[in-house]
Amino acid sequence: MLLLLLFLSMTSNRLIGQAYHSDHTVFGINKLAPRADFFAYETIALAATNNLADSKRYLSLNGDWKFNWV
The pLDDT, as a whole number, for residue 25 is 82
For the residues of 13-39, what is the DSSP string, one character each? IIIIIS-GGG-TT---SS-PPP-----
Res 21 pLDDT > 60: yes
pTM of the model: 0.42
The model's pLDDT over 26-69, given as tens digits with 9 standing for 90+, comes to 777 888 888 888 889 999 999 999 899 999 999 999 999 999 98
Integer angstrom CA distances of residue 10 from 14, 17, 27, 40, 67 = 8, 12, 21, 49, 53
The pLDDT, as a whole number, for residue 70 is 87
Give 8's pLDDT tier (boundaries 50, 70, 90): low
The pLDDT, as a whole number, for residue 51 is 92
